[in-house]
Structure 1
Amino acid sequence: MADEKLQLYLTHRAALLDYAAPIVGCRARAEDVVQEAWLRFSGQDAQADIRHPASYLYRIVRNLALDLTRRTATERVQPGGDDLLDDLPSSSASPEREVSNQNELETISRALAQLPERTRRAFEMHRLGGFTLQQVAAELGVSTALVHQLVHDALRHCMDCLEPEDD
């Protein structure tokens, strides 16, 4: 059966390329489509009841070519989009901002270290670990209301430590 599939593919390969090329608009892309079609066609298990294998192979090529055309059209929705992207400012932070961010992280780390253990754990579990207030409460063996207050206190303490001191 595999030999029959290969022979069918080889017999129709040039015609399949001619069939796919106008759909995708490029002979090189048509080659890719036909190759992908062969992989899908040859991967069919032997029990598959394909009554017209040549027609089935052409259908695979057509569907893949249309998918590629749609995908390409979607990628080109914005004319001049590449030029617009080139003009956008970089999303990476400036060296000054990197240093400022690092300093803020160090300040927050020190602020968290100053907190009582239970307050720090509640804050870290909820704000950094993604645990719900109820999950933190269960873990710490306290009420949800108390966890809410602990997280609030920790957040307030961190904010106070970040505020510049007025002399």
Structure 2
Amino acid sequence: MAVFVSSPYDSQGIPQSAEASPSTMATPETTGWTLGEYARYYRELLGFLTARLRCPHEAADMAQETFARALAHDDPAAIRQPRAFLYRIARNLAVDSARKQSIRTRHLIDLTEVEDAPSATPLPDHVLEKEQLRRALDQTILKMPPRRREVFLLYRFGGLSQAEIAEKLDISTSMVERHLMKAMTQCKERLQAFR
């Protein structure tokens, strides 16, 4: 049962007087729009909100909020098209919800970036692991034959090239390469056993 209040336009589309007479004003008594009348649009409105929000639970909550706001309207007599009024409320609520969700998502991403950012101070277990690793490498280097150890230290920590090491130690460059390969292999084996 649809109830229509007189249109503000005449049959030719020309606006009528801006002032409505008491006989043409919609009142709860003349419109009969009660909760029952609004409720007949519930399924239709729920389908609209579900399609828009893609979540049936959120859509049901929003449909309930739509009806609560419509019934709490200050001037129910001013509502000439209750169906359109319900859809306008629902659309506004959906837009507000999307806006809030966007803000929440943006802030969650910001928080995630903060949590994932490296800390200036390392965690105690990382410090301990690093210290154990350093000790294992120190022991490995100390166990190397003296010439291999010297070549490795000059190359790795002294910053000398292979040719410079060969000249300094009075050995061939190929011998420096062999010492470095064996030293690196020894360190790599120790690190694999350590982990």
Q: Which category of TM-score, normalised to the shorter sequence, fits these structures?
A: 0.3 to 0.5
TM-score (norm 2): 0.39
Higher helix share goes to which structure?
1
- Structure whose CA Rg is larger: 2
TM-score (norm 1): 0.45
